[in-house]
Amino acid sequence: MSLITEEQVVLDLTGADRHEATRLLGERLVASGRCTDLDTFIADVRKREETMATGLPGGIGIPHARSTAITEPSLVFGRSANGIDWGAKDGPATLIFLIAAPEGGGDAHMQMLPKLARALMKKDFKAALAAATTEAEVVRIVSAEVELDQPAAAPEESRMASAAEAGAGLATGTAAAGAAPLADAPRSLNLVGVTSCPTGIAHTYMAAEGLENAAKAAGHTMKVETQGSAGSKPLTAAEIAAADAVIFAHDLPVKDAGRFAGKPTIDVGVKKGISDGPALIAQAAALASEWRNDPSKAAAASAAAAGSSGGALVSKVEEGAGLGTRIRQWLMTGVSYMIPFVAAGGILIALSFMLSQVSLGAEGPIEIVKYNLTSTDQYNIAQNFSATSLTSWAALLFVIGGASFGFLVPILSGFIAFAIADRPGLVPGIVGGSVAATMGAGFLGGLVTGVLGGLVARWVSNWKVAKGVRGVMPVVVIPLVSSFITIGLFITVLGRPIKALTDALNSWLTGMSGASAIILGVILGAMMGFDLGGPVNKVAYAFATTGLAAAGAATDAPQLKIMAAVMAAGMVAPLAMALATTVRPQLFSEPERENGKAAWLLGASFISEGAIPFAAVDPVRVISSSVVGSAVTGALVMLFGATLRAPHGGIWVLPLIGNFLLFLVALIIGVLVMATIVIALKSRDTHLAEVDATATV
């Protein structure tokens, strides 16, 4: 059935105010049999109006509501010669659409309602309605934009199609017409956004259309996720990662807002997205430029994002990536969620050992590991804690740190499975990781249970089951079946050989000394310096952090030396480039010299990515120098026997580094080696005059 009929058109709408006019429009729905209780429906509309006025700039009113009194999605059009105040700041509304939706209106017809919202952004559409002389003409004009006979398109496809038709203009009356396009924008930007309103019928989609049109007029591209009643295709992780800035135009909390953490963000109400689209795009462009020119803002936001998930669990897996890439991203998701446990446990244990040496002498670290929560003797810290005893504080730190360490393998396994299967993978992954740790299979066992648990959970999640079973699938069937298969296979088939492999690896690391340790340091250091935070760098880092789980409470475990070597090597490249730009500034352009200033802090904080701007401009010389310098530092740290329990922190965790003076010596030597090579290679540049000219601009 058509969304609008001739009976639902009023060409000479009158009324003392918008409430009276709404009732007159509602009576047309009663007459057409689409409204069973006018008073109930009008009350629902008024309740919506109390939430936020539905008048829009440009002489438009869009009263709307869901109601139990409405039998099917419907539109009623009214045109007022003198205009009726509908709450818009720029004056009364002359074109009014009453949008009526059933209470549970989530079917295909409901997906057509956003089309009206977008059509109202078109000047031609509004002009045709203003000039129409018959009810039939109005029905034809509206039906051309809001067609119910075609199969419902996916919300994102529908929105993109209508955006293509809408053109570059934003037809929102004088408020939008007075805004100037960003003709002088320095570059085309990739923007993303989210729109939402309390009922999700009209404002959500009109704001999306307004932002997209304004972005197009300014020479940018923009994709908007409409969190409305008709649903939408969420923005992909790749689209968000590529965005220069984000615009939230919403009156409801943004779902999974943590996805956008670390991005320049404009946050306004939904009506701003409709009436002030060009201004919001201009603000977003200015903010993106500000962040681009001041790397410290992006670094601070990224650091804040790393410490908070924004209330949502997220994975690091890109849609459409190749199998090899996805496997690496599965593993890195597990590692990223494991690292906070490593950091908390490792630092607490390191502090415990420091205090125990003060309290108990050189044998303190050996004595403090005897403390626990279960024994019946003096080592039960829960029963024998004394606030005045330094030993008690050291024991308390050790017990808490040990408890944190106990979660390393289960969390690693659980979030690998989560990356593969989303939330259904958590149960088999976490329980499987716990079993792997109990059997002594270590982090290798956690990797296996994580991948296996995720694949099994995803397989079970895709089962075609009866409608009555769907409700219990996520809470009963998926965790039950996937856990039984994953953990049953691990206990009976996979666990023992993986434990044997883990034991062999630990034996090799424990027996590592002299040349073998130095070679491992060279390899790990070179990997850290090769792609500066990329896949190779992350593999070396993951090897070090997951190895901390096997170190336990040992004070001189080889895994602690590996962690120290990896962190020191990862600090070399940005520090070396900072030094090179300071010693020989004429070899670098002005932007590179500015990046060099920031690289001091980034390198000292173990942020290898601080050298990426240099590698991007001159990859061969910078990366080759980085590999050599980082390899030297990795080898020296292993040779010197420096140890580290913290998985991150750079110089800020220096007091927690065993043999920290030798750690610093190894770091300084690597930085000097890389800086020397970079300067030597750049000094041989046959185009040095051009470089100097660029550097002095």
Active site residues: 64, 197
Question: H-helix or E-strand containing 77?
Answer: strand 74-84
Task: Sheet containing 245-250: give its strands across.
Answer: 221-226, 190-196, 245-250, 265-268
Query: How open is the CA angle 334-338-339, to the nearest 5 degrees?
Result: 120
- Cβ–Cβ under 8 Å, residues 451 and 438: no
Q: What are the residues whose beta carbons fall under 8 Å from the beta carbon of 687, sequence distance 6 or more?
A: none
Amino acid at 435: V
Sign of the CA dihedral 598, 600, 603, 605? negative
What percentage of the chain's residues is helix, strand, coil (to nearest 5)? 65, 10, 30
Query: How open is the CA angle 385-390-392, to the nearest 5 degrees?
Result: 20
With b for 16 or more beta-carbon neighbours within 10 A and e for fewer, the 636-647 pattern comes to bbbbbbbbbbbb
Tell me the DSSP string of 434-501.
HHHHHTT-HHHHHHHHHHHHHHHHHHHHT----HHHHTTIIIIIHHHHHHHHHHHHIIIIIHHHHHHH
Give SS3 for 591.
helix
Between CA 234 and CA 452 the distance in angstroms is 28
Between CA 553 and CA 379 the distance in angstroms is 16
Q: What are the residues whose beta carbons fall under 8 Å from the beta carbon of 375, sequence distance 6 or more?
A: none
Q: Which two tokens stand for residue 267?
A: 């946050």
Within 135-274, strands assigned E span 190-196, 221-226, 245-250, 265-268
Between CA 514 and CA 227 the distance in angstroms is 60
| Residue in this structure with the two tokens 């000097």, named with its chain if needed | 672
> β-strand 74-84 against 60-61: which pairing, if any?
unpaired
Q: Quick count: other Cβ atoms within 10 Å of Cβ 649? A: 17
Rounded to an integer, what is the distance from CA 220 to the centroid of its chain? 22
Angle between helix axes 203-217 and 277-293 (nearest 10 degrees) is 60
Query: How open is the CA angle 679-682-687, to the nearest 5 degrees?
Result: 150
